[in-house]
Structure 1
């Protein structure tokens, strides 16, 4: 029987004495799905992403990703889990400006223990597939926002992760570049990559995913497949 790639069950998270950032959240994502987690600021969507990525732990409930009980991992095990299972794309790219494009992409592979020649070959393959091979020796500061986000996607995919997490991936881009990145995510999903996009932008969700999960005040309020 097929098991979900992501299974979040009754997950809750509270910070200090404030209201819960997440309360009894449940989410199941199957391999090959593209899912958008939607909600306004403060809805709990970033908290849910952080639990899935192993960057935070729930106060209650469980988080399982690709057979790993993420909520049970210690700090070192969480880092290994992210290197092996997760690719992450952020709103502001988080590229290292003093490294070339190719070196930015290679870095996670080397941290994961991949031999340098294999890492270089994998980076070159991804830069070619993503249409930015000509920028391999350039530095991120010389690229457009859309090109930098493509570099970030290449970096996220270099270790062949089970899951690609994208946190407001078009939030820092102009309209044309945002549409370009949304199209790229759609293509990656069509090739079999499981993707979870966290966003407040319904248009982005509709353009690159087939399912939307809505959060309000830390609770899942809707789960719709189009």
Structure 2
């Protein structure tokens, strides 16, 4: 059996005086899996993603990613962890409009201290592999939504992270572009990339992942393999 990339054990996170966003949640994601986290708004999906990404800390329980106790990291340690271990793709791309496509993709490597020449070689390889090399010198605002999301994926993969997190990656796209991005996620997973997709879209989950985990009111109520 493949080793776990993500291990959450009895994680609880509450805000203010309301009910917990997550309540005693345990989850394991193994190397090479593609897992969708499903649930309506307020179910705890975003909290779960933020805990895995080291953007938040649990009130109790443990969060371990690729052997690192993420819940114990300080601010500097969490930033280093994200640079080295996690690639993130967002609903609204989060690209810098005043940088070219190539410079957006290179940015994580520059922050990690990679040599300029090596970083640009890596970016060129990714842009070629993702079918957008011809747009390397363009600015994001001149691209379609689907193309911008491919740039965002390239940027997320720049430092070869063991884990790719995608937060509603097709939420801002039309149907055709959304299907294109779902296909890209399938291809990445087929090549061995571990992926966690947070979405409310069951069709997306079933099209690009092999397992769905459903959250309701901060608790996992179902954890099922996707039938092919």
**C-alpha distance in 2 between matches for 1:138 and 1:122:** 18
Which residue in the other structure is 1:21 paired with? 21
- 1:106 is the counterpart of 2:106: yes
Matches within 5 A, 1:80-99: 80-99=80-99
Which residue in the other structure is 1:3 paired with? 3
* Contact preservation (8 Å) 2:214, 2:220: yes
Note closer, same or farther for the CA distance 1:11–1:125 as it changes in structure 2 (3 Å cut): same
Matches within 5 A, 1:1-226: 2-226=2-226
Gaps of 5+ in 2: none
The Cα shift of 1:182 comes to 0.2
**C-alpha distance in 1 between matches for 2:115 and 2:221:** 46
The Cα shift of 1:3 comes to 3.2
**C-alpha distance in 1 between matches for 2:27 and 2:5:** 11
**C-alpha distance in 2 between matches for 1:63 and 1:3:** 15
CA shift digits 1:52-76 (9 cap, x unpaired): 0000000000000000000000000
CA shift digits 1:9-29 (9 cap, x unpaired): 000000011111000111100
**C-alpha distance in 2 between matches for 1:110 and 1:82:** 14
CA shift digits 1:184-224 (9 cap, x unpaired): 00000000000000000000000000100000000000000
Note closer, same or farther for the CA distance 1:42–1:225 as it changes in structure 2 (3 Å cut): same
**C-alpha distance in 1 between matches for 2:163 and 2:213:** 17
Gaps of 5+ in 1: none
What is the TM-score normalised by the length of structure 1? 0.99
What is the TM-score normalised by the length of structure 2? 0.98
For the aligned residues, what is the CA RMSD? 0.7
